A = this chain, B = another copy of it.
Amino acid sequence: MARTAISGFPEWLPQERSVELQVVDRLRRVFETHGFVNVETRSVEPLGALEAKGETSKEIYLLSRLQSQRESSGSVELSPTRTLGLHFDLTVPLARYVVENSGSLIFPFRRYQMQKVWRGERPQEGRFREFTQADIDIVGQGELAWHHDAEAAQVMLEALASLNLGEVVMQVNNRRLLQAVLEAHGVSDIPAALRALDKFDKVGAEGVAKELAELGLGEEESAAVLRAAAITAVSGAELRTKLEAAGLDPEQLEPGLSELSQVLDAVEAPEGTRFEAALRIARGLDYYTGTVYETVLPGHESFGSICSGGRYDQLAISGKRTFPGVGLSIGVTRLVALMLSSGLGPQGIPTPTKVLVLVNDEDSRAASEEVARTLRGRGIPTEVSPSAQKYGRQIRYADRKGIPYVWFVQEQGGAVKDIRTGDQVDASPQDWSPLA
């Protein structure tokens, strides 16, 4: 990581940034191949909109103008409409954008959005306070068919597969199913039980059992909940069989069971990925109403979910109109940090330049520029040597920058040398090409 003086605001060196760029490019390609349009929203929302869902878990950065600070000797007004804060996710802005522009959008509205978000976390937690998120969402007007829940997972699985992260496991659950399972076992405080289940990966079965006991659940019921929560399945049929084996009546688990089964059976996990139901997944801190998703990289479980989301039956409401949505989000900056530290994914590229055209002397720089112009016109990224030093020093400059070829400008034609192998051939800028 680049040196940076402000904790939580990461910066990459150029070669590291090239990894992030490749990630963003690959995600974009998959999203667009599935017909998602790109949107950016402003970075700020009124404080009231940011706090509308009571998201106290997400620390908000407020804005104030320096001039008015000086005029008012440093006091900030806290008005829900006039005070602006930086967005902490891309979902709150999407909901507003959809309502504001519903007359100009065609539903189901399928959009991807890749932008920075900010969270004023306390620095000692070691979290990022500024990071890039890549979100896809499908938003309906009035209704949104179940198959979009499968589609969102399908698109993100293909997007993640394109990053060459090794194995990717996306786990899916359904809040309605989970709620029915909890109710079948006598749980009354469903939100509290969901939050307890959310800690499964952190505190283990015993920790969750303890929390369930605190909710008044008996030992037997608690054990039954944990048995159900441990269920995973790759098909609707397997899911149904395992629920029955756990003593649950499928009839009592509808419509959640059918919803989850349909999604499970509709997704075709691309090579290198697995898509499975995991009844443990609760996402208790978020406001999902049906399908929920989490994604882990086996071997990097402690890193947590790299791509999460779910369905909101009421992503947005405007008068009598309701906009249901389903979406998933990748924390790009965190993922890139993992890729850089673990060597997963695409390799960094030190420079886009393929050829350094050497300069014989400053008076003939124009001749070198002419060669470079021809190469660039053919799409080959090319630089001209910044100074007419001895060839050896110019070649060393190329080597230090990671430029693979140097070009010798000669009166008749030229020659190009692959400095990785030392191979040199006569070449013309009109038809020479670097190896792929």
Contact = CB atoms under 8 A, between A and B. Distances in A.
A65 to B, nearest CB: 4
A397 B106 contact: yes
A222 interface: no
A53 to B, nearest CB: 15
Kindly report how many copies of this chain are found in the complex they form together.
2
A65 B122 CA distance: 10
Contact of A268 (B21, B365, B373): B373
Interface stretch (A69-77, A283-291, A295-303): A69-77
B38 A63 contact: no
A38 B62 contact: no
A59 B65 contact: yes
A353 B35 contact: yes
Interface stretch (A1-9, A179-187, A193-201): A1-9
A14 B94 CA distance: 12
Contacts of A351: 35, 37
Contacts of A47: 66
Interface centre among A9, A42, A43 (most CB of B within 10 A): A42
Interface stretch (A164-172, A306-314, A381-389): A381-389
A400 B32 CA distance: 18
A244 interface: no
Contacts of A21: 38
Given A33-B381, A108-B386, A379-B33, A11 B64 contact: no
Interface stretch (A96-104, A247-255, A405-413): A96-104
A212 interface: no
Contact of A38 (B5, B18, B381): B18
Contact of A382 (B17, B35, B76): B35
A100 B9 CA distance: 14
Contacts of A387: 145
A44 B85 CA distance: 14
Given A13-B101, A17-B39, A6 B61 contact: no
Nearest to A60: B66
A148 B17 contact: no
B76 A77 contact: no
A227 to B, nearest CB: 33
> What size tier do the contact residues of chain A reach?
35 or more
Contact of A64 (B61, B148, B268): B61
A229 interface: no
B101 A86 contact: no
Contacts of A205: none
Contacts of A106: 397, 400-401
Nearest to A143: B387
Contact of A69 (B12, B40, B62, B353): B62
Contacts of A78: 66, 69-70, 74
A9 B21 CA distance: 26
A130 interface: yes
Contacts of A203: none
Contacts of A384: 151
A376 interface: yes
A100 to B, nearest CB: 4
Nearest to A118: B43
27 contacts: A2-B97, A3-B100, A11-B97, A13-B101, A14-B38, A14-B39, A14-B105, A14-B111, A17-B38, A33-B352, A33-B376, A33-B380, A33-B381, A34-B383, A35-B353, A35-B403, A37-B350, A47-B66, A61-B63, A62-B65, A63-B63, A64-B76, A106-B397, A106-B401, A145-B386, A148-B386, A266-B369
Given A4-B42, A59-B65, A69-B76, 5 more contacts: A13-B101, A32-B352, A43-B116, A62-B66, A266-B366
